[in-house]
Structure 1
Amino acid sequence: MADFDVVLRGGTIIDGTGAPRFDADVGIEGKRIAAIGDLSRASGRSDIDVRGRIVAPGFIDAHTHDDRYLMQSPLMPAKLSQGVTTVITGNCGISLAPWCAVPGQTVPPPLDLLGEDAEAFRYTAFGDYLDALEQAAPAVNAACLVGHTTLRVAVMDRLDRAATDAEIAAMQALLRDAMVSGACGMSTGAAYLAAMAAPTDEMARVAAALHGFGAVHASHIRDEGDRIREAIDEAVEIGKAGDAGVVISHHKLIGPKNHGRSVETLGHLAQAMRHRCVGLDCYPYQAGSTILRKDRLAVSSRVIVTRSQPHPEYAGLDLDVIAAAMGLSPEDAVDALQPAGAIYFLMDESDVRRILAFPQTMIGSDGLPHDPVPHPRLWGTFPRVLGHYSRDVGLFPLELAVHKMTGLTGRHFGLAGRGVLSEGNFADVTVFDAARIIDTATFEHPVAQATGIDCVFVNGEMAWHDGASTGVRAGTLIRRR
């Protein structure tokens, strides 16, 4: 009889802790890593030669909007093709639940980043969404945040004001129920119109429902420009109110006026980390992507439209080209295209590199899977960090790159048994070629698989091999109890 279900033989282990690499075999039994070491005398039902390859923990995407994608495309090709085995959903204050929309109702932005179909928002309770997600059996694991903006939509008749005491109490009840059901925390997104009117006090009082759950507060902060320091402090204050760890989402400095300020903001974050559990994530690009909004035009050197409900033919074109074709100013074209999404070139490469290299920065794609012409980060984030920034640019060693997308993220989000290759942990494993791995998705052709990912295991089962899905859907819903 075989000693293990799978033996990965002769690979180089980068275990996710940041420690130096070492050569060893990996034995997998069931859903767990059973042994790491010299297994030359052991046998496996499946023996895989991984000589010349890196064997790493499956990558954890710290920032996604995959809430609906997990059920709509459960094979999750955009993530598995990059080596991602776990996704964190519900970011930027936006989650698919708990809100039950009326059929035909317009999905308010930014909730429409999860899709414009109101029928997808059909979960009165967050636990109902988690149950549906579990039944969908996606190919990757998921840990789910509750969006504060979604809570506002669920309980408020208008979003252009602060919540009343009764509405805050209703949001607290929904959040507490979600945490009992297995959510991992709450996200906020005060940069968006639907939550701009929410004062710090409202968000902090809602977050108080997180007490006792060991939760996370992930924040798309109120201002990523001139008042970014104050916005970081607000996010930390909200986390403190819920006794929750804090994650500053997709940290960046927008607009030429603020380019170079990452020296200041990273110092500010380092100071905050001395007093509380504070982390941050970012994606490896100079351009961001979200809903199409006028206030981004002045700080962006280029704008690409990713979707438009009334004008789908314009997806993938520059706003300037669209405006000229319509005979409108760019500002008026924004109105004509709504509801719509866009890519904005508004960051400086030196800030991107400095934030990526910061030791406590996790990697999150922030991809938008429902955009017809998405930002290339949806398909390219993790290989771009490993291939372009680590290998080609030499921004940090491969061990640190892997740590940023595995062990560091697992620790911040409390994903027990994931993010580190060690005996007894879950067998989420990515095998890749360090010399070849690279993103191929571009702004012109954003839907393209990366190269260099050999195979990916999720909970001990091979889900991706030789550039294609195996059809196995072994992911699990990670419920925070």
Structure 2
Amino acid sequence: MGRPMDLLLRGGTLVDGTGAPAREADIAVTGGRITVLPPGAPADAAEVVDAEGQVVTPGFIDVHTHSDALAAPYDADAGADAAEAVEDLRLAPLLQGVTTEICGNCGTSLFPSLPERLPELAEHLRVTFGLGPIQPAVDFEAFAAGQDPDLRRTHLASLVGHGTLRAGVMGFEARPPKPGELETMCRLLDQALSQGAAGLSTGLIYPPGTYADTEEIVALARVAAHHGKPYVTHLRDEMSQVETALEEALEIAVRSGAPLQISHHKTAGRHAWGATLRTLPRLERARAEGVDVLCDVYPYTAGSTVLHAMLPPWTSEGGVGALLERLRRSEVRDRIRADIGGGVEGWENTVGNGGWDLIAVAAAQTHPEAEGRRIAELAAERGVEPVDYVCDLLLAEQGEVTIISHSMREDDVRRVLASPLSMIGSDGVPKPGRPHPRWAGSFPRVLGHYGRDQGLLPLETAVHKMTGLPARRFGLTGRGVVRDGAIADLVVLDPATVRDGATFDRPLEVPEGVGTVVVAGRTAVRGGRPTAVRAGEVVRVR
């Protein structure tokens, strides 16, 4: 080697991210790149990590996050406690071994938009991301420029969110786009993908994405296909109509030619429990027929999203301001109750499929006493009907409330985790308050609880689902596999002790067994504790 090494990981067992059997190897890092050495090879390094009895893997790739705004400057008026809470959120992925996050999921990204739509879009994004005022961007380059490198603990790639794209061109109207509007949407998408965005995402339960029909999505997915980038979708229904929604996604993939990624695949709510017995074989059949379809999954039976997504889609037509104005009116609340009770065609209706007793408040900035508690209990305590409690809370919080929905069954989660088509994504919603523990625990939970303790996945397979498979799916060249010349994003962990520490009561508890994390060749976690290194970059996918 021409120059002394910056870092040497000596004596460990290499699980290289390809799914191949583990082997003994030393890993050298020079200039941010990897060289794989025979065990015990003589070497001179500025820093040596003794990895004896440990496993060395590629840095984990979280394929599904909502961390778009975490490295944007936080509201200076929010106070020291809030700033500390946000820093804890920034650290959570890194401390579990994540070195690259993919944001822009479920149809919401911080870009693109026509300039004149930016103010209205900013209000929508404030409610979605919950980190104070959010500045949307006209394109991917402006988004990348808005990421503060001093706040960037991990690398970040971003999809183009269809809901943001739609709102950035035609606002929050519940109608098909006019031909000129669709042409503009396609143009902005093409530009963003050319600049390095990783693909197109939809969130077809969320306004304004839910207002789009199949034809609109096919037209946009064709743009993604032209760039060889995936169409990533939160299905139109993950509950009683999940199989119908899955067929729509497969139709879009076939007609557009885009690779298809099913986001956080689940079959939630009592009417869909057990449906993975049908959905997973359907995906395998589609692959056999030539559709490039994969999925991701988080290792929990509860999901998390914004509270207003529990209301019928018509409530959000016109944007956040229109939503809040409607919720003041008693006749609107009566209509919401009726729609939840009877259902609305094409609407997922989470509450109707479960109940307010399964939904807990995760983040409500001015009502911290509600965080961690179920809606039904909170409403009963106040002596009001749950819909009225929800509407009042949304009004008090200016729409900015996040919830956790306990809607899935363990056997379905296990089936998706074990599927050869799945990779791991946290679906983390990093907001202060009491967020879902998946933001801090997903990857060690798969390795420890499901892999080692329950024997659901061999270590090599679990690591592949976190590294090599997502890197290939999202075009993350040089990442996800430990090989000569690869980018030096690395994790050293103890396979005997690695486990998640995060719980619903303590959602940011640090995991056990993750000792060293290297980001771009620099040691970002040492002895399980973060260093001062902030080496994360915005990743451009070409």
Question: What is residue 286 of structure 1 aligned with on the other side?
Answer: 301
Match among 253, 259, 263 for residue 267 of structure 2: 253
8 Å contact kept, 2:131–2:431: no
Alignment of 1:25-174 (within 5 A): 25-72=26-73, 76-99=90-113, 107-108=123-124, 112-115=127-130, 117=132, 119-133=133-147, 135=149, 138-174=152-188
Alignment of 1:405-444 (within 5 A): 405-444=466-505
Secondary structure of 2:10's counterpart equals strand
8 Å contact kept, 1:152–1:159: no
TM-superposition CA deviations, 1:351-380 (whole Å, max 9, x none): 000110001210000011124210010111
8 Å contact kept, 2:17–2:464: yes
8 Å contact kept, 1:137–1:476: no
TM-superposed CA distance for 1:444, in Å, is 1.4
**Inter-CA distance 167–136: structure 2 relative to 1 (3 Å threshold):** farther
Code of the residue aligned with 1:296 in structure 2: it is T
Code of the residue aligned with 2:506 in structure 1: it is H
Aligned mates of 2:524, 2:516 — CA distance in 1: 8
8 Å contact kept, 1:94–1:147: yes
Aligned mates of 2:383, 2:28 — CA distance in 1: 63
Aligned mates of 1:456, 1:366 — CA distance in 2: 21
Secondary structure of 2:283's counterpart equals helix
Code of the residue aligned with 1:445 in structure 2: it is R
Code of the residue aligned with 2:183 in structure 1: it is A
8 Å contact kept, 2:199–2:229: yes
TM-superposed CA distance for 1:113, in Å, is 2.5
**Inter-CA distance 214–104: structure 2 relative to 1 (3 Å threshold):** closer
Secondary structure of 1:226's counterpart equals coil
Question: What is residue 251 of structure 2 aligned with on the other side?
Answer: 237
Aligned mates of 1:476, 1:39 — CA distance in 2: 33
**Inter-CA distance 29–284: structure 2 relative to 1 (3 Å threshold):** same
**After alignment, is 1-10 or 70-79 more displaced?**
70-79
**Inter-CA distance 406–102: structure 2 relative to 1 (3 Å threshold):** closer
Secondary structure of 2:106's counterpart equals coil
**After alignment, is 312-321 or 235-244 more displaced?**
235-244
8 Å contact kept, 2:239–2:353: no
TM-superposed CA distance for 1:324, in Å, is 1.7
Aligned mates of 1:267, 1:312 — CA distance in 2: 43
**Inter-CA distance 74–479: structure 2 relative to 1 (3 Å threshold):** farther
TM-superposed CA distance for 1:325, in Å, is 2.5
8 Å contact kept, 2:61–2:101: yes
Unaligned runs of 5+ in 1: none
Aligned mates of 1:70, 1:105 — CA distance in 2: 19
Secondary structure of 1:69's counterpart equals coil
TM-superposed CA distance for 1:23, in Å, is 1.3
Aligned mates of 1:449, 1:191 — CA distance in 2: 32
Aligned mates of 1:146, 1:201 — CA distance in 2: 18
Question: What is residue 176 of structure 1 aligned with on the other side?
Answer: 190
TM-superposed CA distance for 1:308, in Å, is 2.9
Question: What is residue 8 of structure 2 aligned with on the other side?
Answer: 7
8 Å contact kept, 1:113–1:368: no
Question: What is residue 374 of structure 1 aligned with on the other side?
Answer: 435
Give the superposed CA RMSD. 2.1
**Inter-CA distance 157–298: structure 2 relative to 1 (3 Å threshold):** closer
Question: What is residue 208 of structure 1 aligned with on the other side?
Answer: 222
**Inter-CA distance 104–269: structure 2 relative to 1 (3 Å threshold):** closer
Matched, 1:330 2:344: no
TM-superposed CA distance for 1:112, in Å, is 2.6
Secondary structure of 1:120's counterpart equals coil
8 Å contact kept, 2:108–2:161: yes
Question: What is residue 23 of structure 2 aligned with on the other side?
Answer: 22
TM-superposed CA distance for 1:26, in Å, is 0.8
Task: Percent identity, please.
Answer: 41
TM-superposed CA distance for 1:277, in Å, is 1.4
TM-superposed CA distance for 1:332, in Å, is 2.1
TM-superposition CA deviations, 1:257-291 (whole Å, max 9, x none): 21111010000011112212111000000000111
TM-superposed CA distance for 1:219, in Å, is 0.3
TM-superposition CA deviations, 1:132-151 (whole Å, max 9, x none): 22755612111110000001
8 Å contact kept, 2:107–2:202: yes
TM-superposition CA deviations, 1:183-224 (whole Å, max 9, x none): 111100111132222100011112222243121111001011
In the alignment of these two chains, the number of paired residues is 479
Aligned mates of 1:116, 1:28 — CA distance in 2: 36
**Inter-CA distance 157–90: structure 2 relative to 1 (3 Å threshold):** closer
Aligned mates of 2:367, 2:158 — CA distance in 1: 32
Matched, 1:195 2:251: no
Question: What is residue 221 of structure 1 aligned with on the other side?
Answer: 235
TM-superposition CA deviations, 1:103-130 (whole Å, max 9, x none): 6887337x7322264x413312232102
Secondary structure of 1:143's counterpart equals strand
TM-superposed CA distance for 1:46, in Å, is 1.3
**Inter-CA distance 241–174: structure 2 relative to 1 (3 Å threshold):** farther
TM-superposed CA distance for 1:241, in Å, is 4.7
Aligned mates of 1:308, 1:161 — CA distance in 2: 31
Matched, 1:403 2:459: no
Aligned mates of 2:140, 2:369 — CA distance in 1: 35
**After alignment, is 407-416 or 136-145 more displaced?**
136-145
TM-superposition CA deviations, 1:296-336 (whole Å, max 9, x none): 22333621111235634312222122112222122222222
Question: What is residue 319 of structure 1 aligned with on the other side?
Answer: 375
8 Å contact kept, 1:2–1:43: no
TM-superposition CA deviations, 1:46-68 (whole Å, max 9, x none): 11111010100100001000111
TM-superposed CA distance for 1:426, in Å, is 0.9
Code of the residue aligned with 1:160 in structure 2: it is A
**Inter-CA distance 202–136: structure 2 relative to 1 (3 Å threshold):** farther
Secondary structure of 2:35's counterpart equals strand
**After alignment, is 148-157 or 330-339 more displaced?**
330-339
Code of the residue aligned with 2:483 in structure 1: it is S
Matched, 1:185 2:199: yes
Match among 298, 307, 322 for residue 352 of structure 2: 298
Question: What is residue 276 of structure 1 aligned with on the other side?
Answer: 291
8 Å contact kept, 1:280–1:360: yes
Unaligned runs of 5+ in 2: 74-85, 312-348
Moved over 4 A (4+): 72-75, 100-106, 134-137
Aligned mates of 1:105, 1:163 — CA distance in 2: 17
TM-superposed CA distance for 1:74, in Å, is 7.7
Q: Which protein is richer in helix relative to its size? A: 2
**After alignment, is 132-141 or 209-218 more displaced?**
132-141
